Structure 1
C-alpha cells in the first residue's frame, strides 16, 4: 500500500501508511523525518511502541530526533511508564539518541532493574549517556547490583555501561570479585578487564575471568 499522495494532512497520511507493508511504513517514517512537523510527534511515539520491524523502529527514532527536543522529550518520558515493554525500551533508545539531559530524572531504578531484559539493557545504555556529572557513582551502585544476571548479550550491555562510567566503578567491581556467586565474580572480573583494556574484547575478558574464578576455587554455573 502506498502513502496517499493526495492527502495534504501529514497525520492522516502517516496513519494511512501504517496499514501498509514494512517498506511503506519505512517510507512514512523517512518522510516524517525529512519534513519535520510537530503534528506528527504523537503518532511517531505511538507507532514506536508497536512497530514490529527493527529497521522501521530505527527510522521512527531518527524521525523523532529531527524534531525539537522540547516537543519530543515529554512524550517519550511518558512512554517510560507504559505497561508495554517495547514502548519503554524504544522510548529509552530514542531519548539516548536525542541526548537531552532533562530526561535523566525519568531514568528510574525501576527501569534500570526492569524485568524485561531489552528494557533494562536500553536503560543502562541511556543512563550511562545521560548521567549528569557527579552522579556517576550513584548510578554505578545500581548497575553493579545487576552483575551476573542474564545471558551474554545482557552481561555485555551491563559491562559496557559500567565501563562508560569510568573509574568510579573500580571499588564496586573489586568488591564484586569476592561475591559468593561465581557468576557475579566472573562478570565483575570480565568488566575489570574491559575497563583496563577496552580493545581486549568481551569474549576474551569472559574467558580470562573464567580462568581466574576457577583458580580461586569458584565454579561457573
Structure 2
C-alpha cells in the first residue's frame, strides 16, 4: 500500500503569506487564487492585511473572492472590525467583501456616518454593502439615507449611487420624485437620471442640469 504523506498546512500557509506580499502582481494573484481554492481560516489575517495595501485591482478582486470562500463566522466579525481602520482602502475593501458575502449581521455597521463617508471609494462600497445586507423592513429608510447623497461627486460616484438606489426597487420612486423637486439643479438632475435608469436599466446615464434648472424656474408643466 502506498504511504500517505500528510500535507504540511503550516508550511503551505507560510509560503502563500509570503507570496501575497511578492513584488510581482502575477505571483500575488496566484497566491490569492490558491488561498481561495483551498480555503483555510488560518490565512484570514494575511488576506485581510493584503487587502488593505494591494495596489492591483485584479489581485484585490481575487483576495475578496478568497475571503468569501472562508466561513462567514470567521470573516464577518473580522471585516466589521476593519471598518474602524485608519486606511480608506482597508475600509472600502472590507465593505466590498461584505457586499459579496451579503450577511445581514453587517447591517448595524451601515451607519449614516459610514454611508456619508468623506472618502468617495469608502462611501461607494458602503452603499453597495448596505443594499446587500439591508433586512426586510429597512429598505425605505435606507433609500432615504442614500438619496441624501444625490448630486455627490463625479459621474462614476453618481452612477454608483444610482445603481444602489435602483437595487432597492420601486420603493425608491417617491424618494426620487421628491429629490427631483430640489432647488439644487445637480441633485434634481441626478434624481431624474436615476429615475430613468430605474425605468430602463440599459438607458444612458446622463445628468441634464440645464433641464433641471428650467423645471425649477418654470415648474414641471412649463
User: Taking structure 2 as the reference length, what is the TM-score of the superposition?
Assistant: 0.88
Paired position in structure 1 for 2:4: none
5 Å-filtered alignment, 1:94-109, equals 94-109=97-112
Structure 1 residue 181: Cα displacement: 0.9
Structure 1 residue 70: Cα displacement: 0.9
5 Å-filtered alignment, 1:192-203, equals 192-203=195-206
CA contact (8 A) 1:7 1:13 kept: no
Paired residues in the alignment total: 209
Paired position in structure 1 for 2:22: 19
Structure 1 residue 211: Cα displacement: 5.4
Structure 1 residue 96: Cα displacement: 0.9
CA contact (8 A) 2:150 2:158 kept: yes
Structure 1 residue 217: Cα displacement: 5.4
- Out of 46, 49, 53, the position equivalent to 1:46 is 49
Paired position in structure 1 for 2:212: 213
Larger Rg: 2
Paired position in structure 1 for 2:83: 80
Long gaps (5+) in structure 2: 1-7, 218-222
Q: Does 1:163 align with 2:147?
A: no
The Cα offsets for residues 84-138 of structure 1, whole Å up to 9 and x where unpaired, read as 0000100011111112111111122121101110111111111111111110111
Q: Which runs of 4+ in 1 moved over 4 A?
A: none
Q: Aligned equivalents of 2:94 and 2:77: distance in 1?
A: 11
Q: Aligned equivalents of 1:23 and 1:7: distance in 2?
A: 23
Q: Aligned equivalents of 2:13 and 2:92: distance in 1?
A: 24
Paired position in structure 1 for 2:71: 68
Q: Aligned equivalents of 2:13 and 2:25: distance in 1?
A: 18
Paired position in structure 2 for 1:3: none
